[in-house]
Amino acid sequence: MVAVDLEGPYEPRVRRADLGATGVTSDLGRGLQGSEPRMFRWERSIPLRGSAAALCNNLSVLQLPARNLTYFGVVHGPSAQLLSAAPEGVPLAQRQLHAKEGAGVSPPLITQVHWCVLPFRVLLVLTSHRGIQMYESNGYTMVYWHALDSGDASPVQAVFARGIAASGHFICVGTWSGRVLVFDIPAKGPNIVLSEELAGHQTPITDIATEPAQGQDCVADMVTADDSGLLCVWRSGPEFTLLTRIPGFGVPCPSVQLWQGIIAAGYGNGQVHLYEAATGNLHVQINAHARAICALDLAPEVGKLLSAGEDTFVHIWKLSRSPESGYIEVEHCHGECVSDTQLCGARFCDSSGSSFAVTGYDLAEIRRFSSV
Amino acid sequence: MSVRTLPLLFLNLGGEMLYILDQRLRVQNIPGDKARKDEWTEVDRKRVLNDIISTMFNRKFMEELFKPQELYSKKALRTVYERLAHASIMKLNQASMDKLYDLMTMAFKYQVLLCPRPKDVLLVTFNHLDTIKGFIQDSPTILQQVDETFRQLTEIYGGLSAGEFQLIRQTLLIFFQDLHIRVSMFLKDKVQNNNGRFVLPVSGPVPWGTEVPGLIRMFNNKGEEVKRIEFKHGGNYVPAPKEGSFELYGDRVLKLGTNMYSVNRPVETHMSGSSKNLASRTQENIAPNPLAKEELNFLARLMGGMEIKKPSGPEPGFRLNLFTTDEEEEQAALTRPEELSYEVINIQATQDQQRSEELARIMGEFEIMEQPRLSTSKGDDLLAMMDEL
């Protein structure tokens, strides 16, 4: 799992070479006017071979601090691009993956690409309109292929897989029908088995979030979201158990996160809701964005939440619990406007939340920001 | 992705095409009594629009269009519009047809991108239909066809969920990905930047159903609000005034999809300098197209539904120039960047005999102005005719 494993050669193309490491704010990344002093600065962008597609959750980041490397994954359309970068965003190598062909008319489109960190290995999962592909983390070797069964679909329904998360030694993947497929992953090798299909949703899955089980019984450690805005809260195990359902309200929930029993859900109407996973109760409602939210991410070490919207804004929030009541609270930390860019993906680049990266529709680069 | 996207794509692009043709025909308009035999008059303009609109909304054609199907390539779709544009006495050279298609696609891309809600793309479609109805006010038969299409749209899209509209929007945006042709009208109005990207304003009304950003509300276990905080969100938004109407007649509220061309605004396109993105697109163009057969099927089906009325008598084809002068048109043809050329669909001799015969029959309805060609086989005829498009 070294950078050289990814296919080269790479032609570095740095925009605005005069910026160097210090970064300069320009019309391409301005902080909020007249508000607190700049907390983040725009760093050197990483060029992409193909622009990012207008999907949700269209950026995956794998941090490899031991090797001083970060991997990025972005979906372009029929292909996805993986690339590795050194600190300061210096691009090292890149590789393109394609959706496996199958029966059908047009080239299959990829819906999502995501690294799943399991106890003994890291797998890269790619979902498309044909099925689910799993690779070793550098994207070099495909270890598993699962073709979607479109048997139940009516002619007007699009068939695809979407929503990827690791839960213990399982990888969960959502589908167009609402079913969530649970794959049992061995510590090594390709003997991956579909162990369960979870029913709970009736509309296409959008996103899945997990967190390590807190050690007690009855603790929710997985949330699944769908196009109707419904959230299902699960407990993982040899068999997954549905604990609670949180109904939608007429808009999709494209992105969801889970941290210390707090569910953060981003919706198509620009709102972020925070729910108590144990009860399903809504505790915080944020009018966060003026357009649909396309991505949420968490920095688990510090409880920071990142929200990105199609309104060109990125916001960072601090989650906490009130010392008296134990209720969920939130504080707005920072906002960033990525001018004229309909964002489609956003991730923290380190677990302390001091840097983040975004992708945008039609944008052939990954924009990076880090705190000053 | 979504298999319900084609009707919306086709109708909106078609609407833009009619706006542009209408504007160009008005610009080149000569009062009837003063016109020479080869100049456009008001009567001609109305006739061209009538012919195109009645072909577009032809019942058989609409039936094919509304079948659930995936989107085909931009090249395949362009072929359909070229056919449509030639459904009357009007003729367009390659360069003008290219420019027309560029303008159409950039305009609708802009509209899709700026739609406040995914569902608003339906309002944009209705805006186009409303204006189209204005073009053919004097023709009750065609009006009825358009109303029928309206009814079909409402039937199919009226009940779709926000999630399904989101998928449709994503499908449309994938279709328009990496298109950055600069349009002088957009540049002047500051809705497009010099790099070809559209301006996304951070002010104005929020979409219907969205709250103005800036408020955090916190609740207790009983659902009662216990705290309220405001934060600075960075934009300058105001609440949405009202929802646009999805009825046959009504105030759409949204301006996207209305006719922004007027006689006094010549519309030029600039070919955006080649950028890295286009490298990957050229790759797709050069590789042999495995979908060619499927695209031919699609074209045959769609164009088979077009009932083109052959102009009676030995009428000359009137040529419409989308540029200001003939020299400009020639120059544009010569200097069009390689990667932006809409080459004719590259087909290997198709194995499907029935399909190629059917296409040959459809193509035969084209008025071919040159001398009859000597051919050795039907397949050659077909290829030759396709090359002529």
Tens digit of each residue's pLDDT (9 = 90 or more) over B302-311: 776 666 655 5
Tens digit of each residue's pLDDT (9 = 90 or more) over B201-258: 999 999 999 999 999 999 999 999 999 999 999 999 999 999 999 998 899 999 999 9
Measured between CB atoms, does B207 come within 8 Å of chain A?
Answer: yes
CA distance B6 to chain A (A): 12
Burial class, A177, CB count within 10 angstroms (exposed 0-12 / middle 13-18 / buried 19+): buried
Which pairs with CB-CB distance under 8 Å and at least 24 residues apart come from A315-322? A315/A288, A315/A289, A315/B233, A316/A353, A316/A356, A317/A272, A317/A286, A319/A259, A319/A260, A319/A262, A319/A264, A319/A274
Residue-wise pLDDT tens for chain A (372 aa)?
Answer: 222 223 333 333 322 222 333 333 333 334 454 444 557 888 889 999 999 999 999 999 999 988 889 999 999 999 999 999 998 878 888 999 998 876 555 678 999 999 999 999 999 999 999 999 999 988 899 999 999 988 778 888 889 999 999 999 999 999 999 999 999 999 989 999 999 999 999 999 999 999 987 666 668 899 999 999 999 999 998 999 999 999 999 999 999 999 999 999 999 999 999 999 999 999 999 999 999 999 999 999 999 999 999 999 999 999 999 899 889 999 999 999 999 999 999 999 988 899 999 999 999 999 999 988
Three-class DSSP category at A19? helix
Measured between CB atoms, does B237 come within 8 Å of chain A?
Answer: yes
**A window 189-218, beta carbon within 8 A of B:** 203-204, 206
Q: B174 and A204 in contact by Cβ < 8 A?
A: no
> Does the pLDDT at position B15 exceed 60?
yes
The whole-angstrom separation of Cα A4 and Cα B194 is 38
Measured between CB atoms, does A333 come within 8 Å of chain B?
Answer: no
DSSP state of A139: S
Closest Cβ opposite residue B3 in set A156, A226, A340: A156
Residue of A nearest to B293 (CA): A105
> Does the pLDDT at position B190 exceed 80?
yes
Write down the pLDDT at residue A50. Answer: 93
Chain position carrying tokens 């944020």: A286
Measured between CB atoms, does B70 come within 8 Å of chain A?
Answer: yes
In sequence order, the β-bridge partners of residue A296 are: A307
Find the angle CA(B177)-CA(B178)-CA(B179) to the nearest 5 degrees. 95
- Domain map (residue ranges) of chain A: 38-371
Neighbours of B328 (CB within 10 A): 14
Q: B193 and A340 in contact by Cβ < 8 A?
A: yes
CA distance A131 to chain B (A): 13
CA neighbours closer than 13 Å in the CB half-sphere of residue B328: 10
Q: Compute the Cα dihedral for A115, B173, A229, B155 and give only its sign.
A: negative
Which residue in A245, A317, A310 sits closest to A281, CA to CA?
A: A245
Q: A281 and B237 in contact by Cβ < 8 A?
A: no
Write down the pLDDT at residue B306. Answer: 67
The whole-angstrom separation of Cα A290 and Cα B207 is 7
Q: A53 and B174 in contact by Cβ < 8 A?
A: yes
Residues contacting B198, CB < 8 A, separation 6+ = A340, B109, B110, B113, B114, B186, B191, B192
Write down the pLDDT at residue B333. Answer: 80
Band (pLDDT 50/70/90 cuts) for residue B6 is very high
Report, as an integer, the average pLDDT of B289-301: 64
Three-class DSSP category at A128? strand
Q: Which residues on A lie below 8 Å from B180 (Cβ)?
A: 362
Q: Which pair of tokens denotes residue B167? A: 């998928």
Please answer whether residues A142 and B207 qualify as being in contact, where contact means their C-beta atoms are separated by less than 8 angstroms.
no
**A window 219-278, beta carbon within 8 A of B:** 226-228, 250-252, 254, 268-271
Neighbours of A216 (CB within 10 A): 6
Write down the pLDDT at residue B41. Answer: 75
The whole-angstrom separation of Cα B245 and Cα B158 is 12
Rounded to 10 degrees, the C-alpha dihedral A83/A87/A90/A96 comes to 0
Closest Cβ opposite residue A77 in set B169, B177, B213: B177
CA distance B22 to chain A (A): 31
Write down the pLDDT at residue B351. Answer: 40
Q: What is the 3-state secondary structure (H, E, C) of chain B?
A: CCCCCHHHHHHHHHHHHHHHHHHHHHHCECCCCCCCCCCECHHHHHHHHHHHHHHHCCHHHHHHHCCCCCCCCHHHHHHHHHHHHCCCCEECCHHHHHHHHHHHHHHHHHHHHHCCCCCHHHHHHHHHHHHHHHHCCCCHHHHHHHHHHHHHHHHHHCCCCHHHHHHHHHHHHHHCCCCCCEEHHHHHCCCECCCCCECCCCEEECCCCCCCCCEEEEECCCCCEEEEEECCCCCEEECCCCCCCCCCCCCCCCCCCCCCCCCCCCCCEECCCCCHHHHHHHHHHHCCCCCHHHHHHHHHHHHHCCCCCCCCCCCCCEECCCCCCHHHHHHHHHHCCHHHCCCCCCCCCCCCHHHHHHHHHHHHCCCCCCCCCCCCCHHHHHHHHHHHC
Tens digit of each residue's pLDDT (9 = 90 or more) over B60-105: 889 889 999 888 788 888 888 988 888 888 888 888 899 999 999 9
The whole-angstrom separation of Cα B19 and Cα B176 is 20
How far are the Cα atoms of B346, B366, B384 from residue B374, in angstroms, in the given order? 22, 17, 10
Measured between CB atoms, does A158 come within 8 Å of chain B?
Answer: yes
Please answer whether residues B13 and B257 qualify as being in contact, where contact means their C-beta atoms are separated by less than 8 angstroms.
no
Q: Candidates 3.10.20.600, 2.130.10.10, 3.30.70.380, 3.30.1370.160; correct CATH number of A38-371? A: 2.130.10.10
Interface probe with B: pick from A202, A251, A273, most Cβ of B within 10 Å: A251
Which residue in B320, B312, B268 sits closest to B86, CA to CA?
A: B320
Write down the pLDDT at residue A298. Answer: 96
Tens digit of each residue's pLDDT (9 = 90 or more) over B328-361: 888 888 877 765 666 544 333 334 445 555 555 5
Measured between CB atoms, does B197 come within 8 Å of chain A?
Answer: yes
Residue of A nearest to B233 (CA): A335
Q: B215 and A286 in contact by Cβ < 8 A?
A: yes
Residue of B nearest to A250 (CA): B162
Neighbours of B233 (CB within 10 A): 26
Residue of A nearest to B281 (CA): A50
CA distance A53 to chain B (A): 6
A and B: number of Cβ contacts within 8 A: 183
Give the sheet arrangement for strand A255-259, strand by strand: A255-259, A262-266, A271-276, A282-287, B215-219, B225-230
| Residues across chain B | 389
Tens digit of each residue's pLDDT (9 = 90 or more) over B22-59: 988 887 765 555 556 556 677 888 888 998 999 999 88
Please answer whether residues B220 and B201 qualify as being in contact, where contact means their C-beta atoms are separated by less than 8 angstroms.
no
Q: Which pair of tokens denotes residue B376? A: 């050795």
**Phi and psi torsions of B186, nearest 5°:** -65, -40
Please answer whether residues B270 and B337 qualify as being in contact, where contact means their C-beta atoms are separated by less than 8 angstroms.
no
Measured between CB atoms, does B294 come within 8 Å of chain A?
Answer: yes
Write down the pLDDT at residue B184. Answer: 86
